[in-house]
Chain A
C-alpha cells in the first residue's frame, strides 16, 4: 500500500483515539464490547414463530405449559426437579435463542444415537436426561404431561424446519481453543470480576421469595455430575456465547475456558449413574479431560461424596 501523509495523520489520530478509549476503559462502568445475543455468529437463519401465534385450543394449552416449564421448572415440573434450576438458565428465552441450545434445533435432530447412553434416543428420552442430570431430579415417565408439554412446545417452535439436517444455531457455538490450559486461579479471578455480582461470591446464586433469580453454579442445589454442563468444554461454550447475562461474547475465549474450569472444579451432587466408587464412575462415564469428576483439585477428590442421595 502506498504511504500517504493523510494516512499517516489518520494513524496518529486514531492512536490518540485508542488512548482515549483505553482511558475510558479504566472508568468503573465502562461496558465491555458485547454482541446483542448468542445467535450472533452462529449463522442461524431460523426464527421460531412468535408466542402470540400459539393456537387458542387444547394443543395451544399444552404448548404454553411447555413454555412455562422452561421458564419456571421447579414450579411447573415440581415432581421431577431436585434442585433450584430452571431450563431457561441454560436455554435462553425459553429455548428460543440460537446459540443457547434452542429447542427447535434439538427437536428436528431426534431420534438420534447418543454415545452418552449408547442407544437411539427419542426426543422424550433426551429430555428425560435433562431432568435426571441438569435438574438433578428424576425422569418424567414417557407420555407424562411434562414430557408431552415440552415436546409439544419444541415441535411448535420448530415449525417449518426440515428434520434430520444440520441446523445452524444448534447447541452452543464452538469457542476457540485456549492459548493456555484452563486454570483454577485465573478462572477464580474471572469469576470474582464478572460472575459473582449475580451468582454470589460462593456460587450459590440468589433467591427472592423462594424463587431462583440467579442460579447456583455448584453445590447441592445445582446440576449434578452427570449433566452436560459438568464438561468444562461444554460450559466454556455456553459461557462464551451467553454470559455475563446480556453480554454475549464479551469474555475472551481464554476467560470462558478458565471460568468454566473454575465452576466445574467445585463439588456438586453425585452422578446418578454411580458405579460404587469414584474411580469406577469416572472410568465408565467421565473418561475425558473435560470432566473433573474423580480428579483431585486443590487437594480434594471431586465426586467423592458417596452414593447418590435417594429421591
Chain B
C-alpha cells in the first residue's frame, strides 16, 4: 500500500499531464489537429503494435543503436585507458578529444550520410561517434585516478605490467567508465533518431517523420511516445545494472 502511495505521488505530475492532454483538445482549448487527445494517440499506438510497424521499425532502430553503442564503448574504453597509461597516445589523442568535445554531435550526421550512404552504416557511425567521447573521457579520468599503491600491490604480487591494466586499472576506472556510458546511452538515442528523421527507410525516426509528413498526427505522437518510453526504461535498467556492478562501493 505504502509503495503504491509513493509511486502515485511521484508520478502524479505525469497523470495530471495525461489528463490535460486528453481534456484540452476535446474542449477545443488546443486544436485537436495539432495535438490529438491522448486516447486517440493510444488507439494509434495499439494499431501500430498490431500491424507490426512498431516491431519492425523498433527492432531496426535498436539494432543500429546497439551496434553503434557497443563499438563506442569498446573503442572508447581502449582509447581512454591507453591515453592514461601510454604517454604517446595521450599526446596524440588528448588534443583531439578536447577540440571535438564541444562540437554538437548532430552536426556530424550529414557528414556520416555523405560518407556511409543512406542505409544503416551512416546511422551506426553517427551513434558511434556520439558515444565515443563520453566513454573515452570517463575511461581516461578513471584510469588516471587509479591509486599508485593499488598498481604497486599488483606488481609486488607478481603481475606483469600488461596484466595490471586488466586486473587493476580497468576495474578501478569502472565507476567513471560506467558513468560515461550512461551519458553515451542518452546521446545514442538522440543521435539515432535525429539521423533517422533526416533520411532513412526504416526505424522509429523514419516512422515518426513519415506519419508527420502524412498528417497522421496521432500515429506520429504514438511513435514519439514509444521512443521516450524506451529511452526512459533503458536508462532505468542501466542504473540497476550499474548499481549491481558497483555494489562493492558500499
Physical interaction between A and B: no
